[in-house]
Structure 1
Amino acid sequence: MSVPAAGGLRRSGITNLRGRALAPIAIVVCSMLAGALYTFAMGQDVNWDWQNYHEYNVWAVLNGRYGVDAVPPGFQTYFNPIVYFPVYYLRHYLPSPHGLMIIGAIHGLNLALICLFARLVLGQAATFAAIAAAVVIAATGPMTLSEVGTSFSDVLLALPVVGGFLLILVADHRPVTRYLLAGLLIGAAVGLKLTNVVYAIGAIAALLAAARPLRAAVLLGLGGIVGAALTGGEWCLIAWRDTGNPIFPLFNAVFQSGEVASVNLMDAQFMPHSVPDALAYPFYWLMGDHRGAEHPFRDARFAVVTILLVLGLVVRMTRASAILTRRDVQLVVLFAVSYLAWLGLFSIQRYAVVLELLCGPMIVVLIARLAASAGPTLRTAFPVPPNALMVTVAAGIALWSQPADWWHRPWSDVYRPKIADALDRPATYFILGKPLAYIAPQLPPQSRFYLLADIGVPIVPGGIFDQRIRAGLKAPLPGGLRELHMRGEPDRSALLDRYALAIDPTRPCVAIEGARPGTMLESCPLIERASH
């Protein structure tokens, strides 16, 4: 047997080191490229929330509108806008489609993170096929795909949440640093969007299986407080100053802002009606019943996770030894508790993007552990290798998935509305529907915008927004008084009665192209009604 020369060994070692160094870079580049190309294929994002508050809230902060307008997006006006700044700048200061392709590339980083996540939790079972299966399952999530390259923040904030979860699972080494950093990441995500609190609940539950749970909980909590304060503290102070509620209008039964009823405002339209109904949700999604979202989608991954968890429980009950490692148990607890918290608080599918992504590692880990625990009889009756089974399941989930679509425009028809000459002077606009706030930046900058049509936060008589409107009526603008509504929507002009206004039938209304293809906005001039 010949022995290679020393120079050959050195060259071989250098080559291997280079290969190991280049592999993560290649994974990151491919993940970002996939996100950018998917964004290009889908077209320009014009989703409902962008039309309602993603665009307006950032513009309002940059232009000092929070002391001028009266909640044009309704109750979403005081949602933390910081997370929407990157999309706003990329959308407005780079030519289309490059700005949104960049944000799509950033969203694509979730796949690189899932690749690392799967490799670490699989341990010795981390084959190329297993990791690829996890990434395919994560990459084809219907809500994940629906948000790539859009202004939605759930897929963007999945990066710190999944990163925080990963740090929790590997915190046995350097626990102080990793628990603090995990808390910082998850807390920052909660500060930017409060719906991520379900993942904070899941993270805390996973610590029950940590080596030293109490110390872990303290460190995670400290990091979480700092993270939430850094990303959401200043905005909470602004909301508190303006409305008396730091998370206005949420939990107003606690904070008692006078600008909204003393109730805990919740969107319960998608929540289950009973325990059997809740248990059936993964199988509703499997069959294309899209409860949880306004637009159709189909998803098999949660049903597969449910079946594998039940199988794992059955196998564990029939065996004398555990089939999951402590890290596996932490992952299962983290996933299950986050899911149950999500289901119990709102059941809105977009807020489950993190869980969609984690279904990839969950499925391959459960298949690997079940295969390792299978006895000779089961292996003889079902002789499919674990890697082949993982790839087959991943392919089936990917082919069955149907993503939702929150509205796009083709890149050949980017939204650039033409504003008629009749609207070229600053005016006071009474908005009679949602989502219309996105048009405010297109109109003369001295204009004022008052929403009268929000069910969640109606204008309270005598409140700060009502006073602002009445003060605006006493200080007329050159363009006069106008209303703004979506053509084809129910007539809401009766909302103007409170301010003794009515649509002027002697002057024409003006049309503005809507962001969603096929829609049209209209603005009609107003007159003061004669008092009786």
Structure 2
Amino acid sequence: MSQSTARPTTLFHVAILLLATTATVLVSLMEGKDFSWDFVNYHLYGPFAVFDPLRLKHDFMAAGPQAYLNPVLHIPLYWMIQYGWPDWLASSSLAALHSLSIWCIYAISSLLIGNANVPGDRRAGLAWAVLASTTALAAPVFLGLAGSSFTDPSGAVLVLASVMTLLKAFRHDDTANVRLVLISGFLFGLALGAKLTHLIYAPAFFISTLVGASRRSLVRALAALSLGCVAGLILIGGYHAANLYREFGNPFFPLFNQYFQSPFYGLDAARTHTRFLPDSAFEYLIRPLRMAQPFTGVYYERKAPDVRLLALCVAIIASVPFLFFRRQAISSRGQKSDQNLATPAVAPFWAFFGASYGCWLVSGANGRYGLCLLLLVGPALVLAVRNWPKLVATTFVGVVLVAQVFLLFTTDNLRWNPIPWSGRWFYKNIDTQELEKPHGYLLFDSNSSSFLFPSLHPGSAYFAVQGQYSAPEIGPVRERLDRFISTWDGNLRVLGSANLAQVTSGDFSSFILGANRALQFQGLVVRTDDCRYSQASVWPIDGPARAQVGRTGVDFVIATCGVVRGSKPSAELTARRARIHQAFGRIQAACPSWFSPAATEPPVQRASQTWFHHYAATDVTLAVGKDAVFLSRYEFGPFDVPLGTLDQWLGSSPPALRCAPLPRHYIDAGWSGSGSSRSR
């Protein structure tokens, strides 16, 4: 290639990449900042804890089980918030970082489609690569996450860079470039160490290598991939894993605890989350069709209709006759091959894509975890139609892209909790007494509000007795709790979310009732004369924008009250809890598929006197009011399905449950596990 030709091509590449970044940043600015549940309850706790080497010893489940995830990808936003960056600038910086995924997609597309060896085809190949990248950019999950506090798009950059490098290693038919395979493994190891959900791509990398490497280089390629992966994993996750192993006996605590058997968490902790998991062979088959439907909870927590994967399936099926007739035409002309048909990297790409799709489906089918796969739909779609008649192919992809853009414009904001820009990510007003000296805080709420912990006294410590994880009454966790209570005796407080209108008027009664319910079996009681609150808001707390306070999700309040030792609960209350625990155990045994991980600890009591247990893997809650037992499923339903009474479950003839698969709200209506149901 001449120098005069290379220069315009380089400028073209740069322009395309800058356009991709600009588009990603602009969409992020239009959507606003995301003040999601995850941000409020654990995204900032990890970086806060990692910079204090003693916090792992002092705290326990301070942000729920997510407190122990590797926080490295959360550090950039944490620093930007701590140093007071404007919210729009912090989000734009993250969006620019996340747009590197589209850069990788463009490079992959150019490698697969832009065949420079075919005379006159290079310019057309670049056009196809641009079209593939644009199709990838239209992925609703990517646009909803770009510029937010979620780390899935950050990890996707590393995974896609690894895919790009691996495919480059197979550019030649004769042998694999082992050095590039090593680099690919290293990049994937970094992604895996930073976020373990990328484990679903591990089989795809090895299968792709098996397909792409020649016989004489296969062993060296697999060894290089493995070595690079281990090196990257240790580099970015080794220190964190070593600390977890030293403290809890599990380097991935609390994940994979059925293998490491740490006494600080249940042994049933690693079950697949079933929120998006297809529940039948038919649902597995039509998942691309389901994803195109405008419903919440199909494969993502928000409405995110995506027609691209369905279009890819149609394109692959339709390509069969195109390829057949093309080969017939080539054969009739006496040609040995068609240079347009494939490059050496195409087969490894399809191997990677197919293996990733299968692993993603069976591991939970969560759109966030499958983000890399959803971005790769862009080049896969263009590659599938690349050998169709040009007009037919461009028309097909154009129609798909227009349809997807239409769905994006007619769908609600893709953020989980979109908030307009207000100057900073959030504003805070912390009670001065929380800052004067350290305290030991006992947490009892599923909403930890841990995004405010960095704003409290840096010497404070946090221990969850109830919430996403309830402390057992015997064993190492109980011993750890007893040490915590003794250490902070005299400076022990309970912390949880509270109602703004109540606490600002001095009414802490609801908060105190809920706290006492949680602490009663710990032999502790709340001091009613020692309560205070702190506040955070997405708007300046004392500014003119306070008129915006009426909007949903803009104010967050935590209350704290002093805690002293008290009497143990009555024998009657203890007996009732044991009775409910026994009934829950029998219900679990009757329908194990509904209740995962299985509860081994007694149920907990809400302020409303309802007893309940939540099963995280299936999003199911069992609850008991006066005597009736009800089942509810988080967010998507069904809600308040009656399962009988305590007396029935503790009797000799418990109710017979159908144990039907838990419903998908976008499929089933009127579902009931026991013959009747109520909805809300």
Structure 1 range deviating more: 331-340 or 36-45: 36-45
Identify the residue that residue 201 of structure 1 maps to in structure 2. 203
Matched, 1:303 2:314: no
Alpha carbons of structure 1 residues 325 and 19: separation in structure 2 relative to 1, 3 Å: closer
Q: CA deviation at 1:204?
A: 1.2
Matched, 1:279 2:285: yes
Distance in structure 2 (CA, Å) of the matches to 1:58 and 1:463: 29
Question: What is the correspondence of 1:283-362 to structure 2 with a 5 Å cutoff?
Answer: 283-289=289-295, 290-313=297-320, 326-362=344-380
Q: CA deviation at 1:258?
A: 0.5
Q: What TM-score comes out, normalization by structure 1 length?
A: 0.87
Q: Can you list the C-alpha shifts for 1:120-146, whole angstroms capped at 9, x where unaligned?
A: 101336444422321221112111011
Match of 1:116 among 89, 107, 113: 107
Q: CA deviation at 1:508?
A: 4.9
Contact 1:122–1:365 (8 Å) recurs in 2: yes
Identify the residue that residue 81 of structure 1 maps to in structure 2. 71
Report the 3-state secondary structure (helix = DSSP H, G, I; strand = E; otherwise coil) of the residue aligned with 1:512. Answer: strand
Identify the residue that residue 25 of structure 1 maps to in structure 2. 14
Identify the residue that residue 4 of structure 1 maps to in structure 2. none
Identify the residue that residue 427 of structure 2 maps to in structure 1. 416
Identify the residue that residue 482 of structure 2 maps to in structure 1. 470
Matched, 1:482 2:494: yes
Report the 3-state secondary structure (helix = DSSP H, G, I; strand = E; otherwise coil) of the residue aligned with 1:450. Answer: strand
Distance in structure 2 (CA, Å) of the matches to 1:142 and 1:508: 44
Distance in structure 1 (CA, Å) of the matches to 2:348 and 2:395: 26
Q: Can you list the C-alpha shifts for 1:84-109, whole angstroms capped at 9, x where unaligned?
A: 22222233225213233212111112
Identify the residue that residue 170 of structure 1 maps to in structure 2. 168
Count of residue correspondences: 509
Report the 3-state secondary structure (helix = DSSP H, G, I; strand = E; otherwise coil) of the residue aligned with 1:521. Answer: strand
Identify the residue that residue 403 of structure 2 maps to in structure 1. 396
Distance in structure 1 (CA, Å) of the matches to 2:210 and 2:353: 14
Distance in structure 2 (CA, Å) of the matches to 1:369 and 1:264: 48
Identify the residue that residue 440 of structure 2 maps to in structure 1. 428
Q: Give the letter aligned to residue 362 of structure 1.
A: A
Contact 1:243–1:257 (8 Å) recurs in 2: yes
Contact 1:130–1:390 (8 Å) recurs in 2: no
Report the 3-state secondary structure (helix = DSSP H, G, I; strand = E; otherwise coil) of the residue aligned with 1:248. Answer: coil
Q: CA deviation at 1:329?
A: 2.7
Match of 1:61 among 50, 61, 66: 50
Q: Can you list the C-alpha shifts for 1:296-339, whole angstroms capped at 9, x where unaligned?
A: 22111111122222333566678867965553332222111111
Alpha carbons of structure 1 residues 507 and 526: separation in structure 2 relative to 1, 3 Å: closer
The structure richer in helix per residue is 1
Q: CA deviation at 1:34?
A: 2.8
Identify the residue that residue 376 of structure 1 maps to in structure 2. none
Matched, 1:250 2:250: no
Q: What TM-score comes out, normalization by structure 2 length?
A: 0.69
Contact 1:245–1:256 (8 Å) recurs in 2: yes
Report the 3-state secondary structure (helix = DSSP H, G, I; strand = E; otherwise coil) of the residue aligned with 2:525. Answer: strand
Ranges in structure 1 where 5+ consecutive residues have no aligned partner: 1-11, 373-383
Identify the residue that residue 155 of structure 1 maps to in structure 2. 153
Instruction: Answer 1 or 2: higher relative contact order, Cα 8 Å, separation at least 6.
Output: 1
Identify the residue that residue 30 of structure 2 maps to in structure 1. 41
Distance in structure 1 (CA, Å) of the matches to 2:11 and 2:130: 18
Distance in structure 1 (CA, Å) of the matches to 2:322 and 2:20: 36
Distance in structure 1 (CA, Å) of the matches to 2:498 and 2:366: 26
Q: CA deviation at 1:248?
A: 0.8
Alpha carbons of structure 1 residues 366 and 183: separation in structure 2 relative to 1, 3 Å: same
Structure 1 range deviating more: 412-421 or 323-332: 323-332
Matched, 1:236 2:230: no
Identify the residue that residue 70 of structure 1 maps to in structure 2. 60
Distance in structure 1 (CA, Å) of the matches to 2:448 and 2:402: 38
The percentage of counterpart residues that share the same residue type is 24
Distance in structure 1 (CA, Å) of the matches to 2:74 and 2:534: 28
Distance in structure 1 (CA, Å) of the matches to 2:557 and 2:204: 43
Identify the residue that residue 90 of structure 1 maps to in structure 2. 80
Identify the residue that residue 7 of structure 1 maps to in structure 2. none
Alpha carbons of structure 1 residues 14 and 210: separation in structure 2 relative to 1, 3 Å: closer
Report the 3-state secondary structure (helix = DSSP H, G, I; strand = E; otherwise coil) of the residue aligned with 2:370. Answer: helix
Alpha carbons of structure 1 residues 169 and 99: separation in structure 2 relative to 1, 3 Å: same
Contact 1:423–1:479 (8 Å) recurs in 2: no
Report the 3-state secondary structure (helix = DSSP H, G, I; strand = E; otherwise coil) of the residue aligned with 1:517. Answer: coil
Ranges in structure 2 where 5+ consecutive residues have no aligned partner: 116-120, 329-337, 501-509, 539-551, 569-680
Q: Can you list the C-alpha shifts for 1:169-228, whole angstroms capped at 9, x where unaligned?
A: 221346111111111111211111111111121111122322424433222122112111
Contact 1:293–1:348 (8 Å) recurs in 2: yes
Match of 2:464 among 433, 443, 451: 451
